[in-house]
Amino acid sequence: MTVRIATFNLLHGLDVRSKRVDLDAAAEAIEALDVDVVAVQEVDRGLSRSGELDQVAELASLLSRTGVFAPALLGDPTLHWTRGPGADPDPGGPAYGIGLISRLPVTAVAIAALPGGGPGQARPRRPDARRPPIPYRDGEPRAALRVTVEAPWGGPVAVTTAHLSFVPWRGRRQLATVGRFARGGPDGAVAAVLLGDLNLPPRVVEPALRRGGWRTLPAGPTFPSWTPVAQLDHVLVRGGIVMEELKAGPAGPSDHLPLTASLRAIG
């Protein structure tokens, strides 16, 4: 019995081909991957740039699956924000973060705030600027989301996703925290998966997590989707599962390629 899993940075639903937000295109791309669980990053909730939708809930509805959203920041990443709730209850409202969408039963959910970032605002946009504002010195808060799913082989698996800072030294600190958090909680899971846009290359990610028992396979570049030159997206496993395949692509609406893996229980 095999579980197929994927990670996909969705660029808040912006289709780089049409230059407009199109969740139908994102849903079609996810459906074509034919996976049991997909981790998504850069997703909006209640933001004007994406039609004020809860994007994870909308995608879960379109795909007839269960969706879980974790706000990394509360507010608007193009204007101003406060730190995400971390372990506190989610107050709702406009937010930006990460999510997991599953067709396997979800039995537990946990969210962790990662080091760095805090309340802040985006760099002011010049009237003639062609690109949207970006967080000043990457002051964005970051979070990790862990869900426990029931695998078809009859055991729980802890699945964790994160979107780390693009500033290398901060991303390394966050990676260490995510590696510990992703091992699982008091829910009986003896197998774990860590996947997401880690914004670090394999030569950094793999040695940093190997000490914690994490394993992966070669995948190839995932960014940018039109001419991939760097692998920023990753899938790693530990415990009682083995990865049989890890593959990047195909190109879709986002500026990242999805990364898919096939997993099975050991023994």
State pLDDT tens for residues 169-179. Answer: 999 999 999 99
CA distance 257 to 267: 32
Q: What is the pLDDT of residue 129?
A: 56
Contact indicator for 149, 81 with CB cutoff of 8 Å: no
Provide mean pLDDT across the span 15-35. 97
Among 201-205, 247-251, 263-267, name the one with the lowest average pLDDT.
Answer: 263-267
* pTM to 2 decimal places: 0.93
Question: Tokens at residue 58, please?
Answer: 């909308």
Q: Tell me how far CA of residue 39 lies from CA of 16, 141, 144, 195, 197, in angstroms.
A: 20, 18, 11, 7, 9
Q: What is the pLDDT of residue 136?
A: 46
Q: How confident is residue 122, by pLDDT bands cut at 50, 70 and 90?
A: confident
Residue 263: is its pLDDT beyond 90?
yes
Q: What value does the mean pLDDT take over residues 193-198?
A: 98
Q: What is the tens place of the pLDDT at every residue in 123-158? A: 765 555 565 555 545 678 999 999 999 999 888 999
CA distances from 10 to 7, 52, 54, 97, 196 (A): 9, 16, 13, 11, 11
**Whole-number Å distance between alpha carbons of 38 and 85:** 23
Q: What percent of the chain has pLDDT over 90?
A: 79
In sequence order, the β-bridge partners of residue 7 are 39, 259
d(CA 46, CA 54): 6
pLDDT value at position 58?
98
With 0-12 / 13-18 / 19 or more C-beta atoms within 10 angstroms meaning exposed / middle / buried, residue 46 is: middle
Burial of 225 (0-12, 13-18, 19+ CB in 10 A): buried
Cα→Cα distances 261→39, 162, 165, Å: 12, 17, 24
Q: How far apart are CA 83 and CA 229, in angstroms?
A: 32
**pLDDT tens digit string along 40-85?**
999 999 999 999 999 999 999 999 999 999 999 999 999 889 887 7
**Nearest-angstrom CA–CA distance, 160 and 175:** 12
> 76-90, 95-109, 228-242: lowest mean pLDDT where?
76-90
CA gap 82, 180 in Å, rounded: 25
| In contact, 256 and 225? CB cutoff 8 Å | yes
Q: CB within 8 A of 149, min separation 6: which ones? A: 36, 37, 102, 104, 105, 106, 107, 156, 157, 159
CA distance 83 to 14: 24
211 CB burial (10 A radius; 0-12, 13-18, 19+): exposed
What number is the average pLDDT over the span 177-183?
Answer: 95
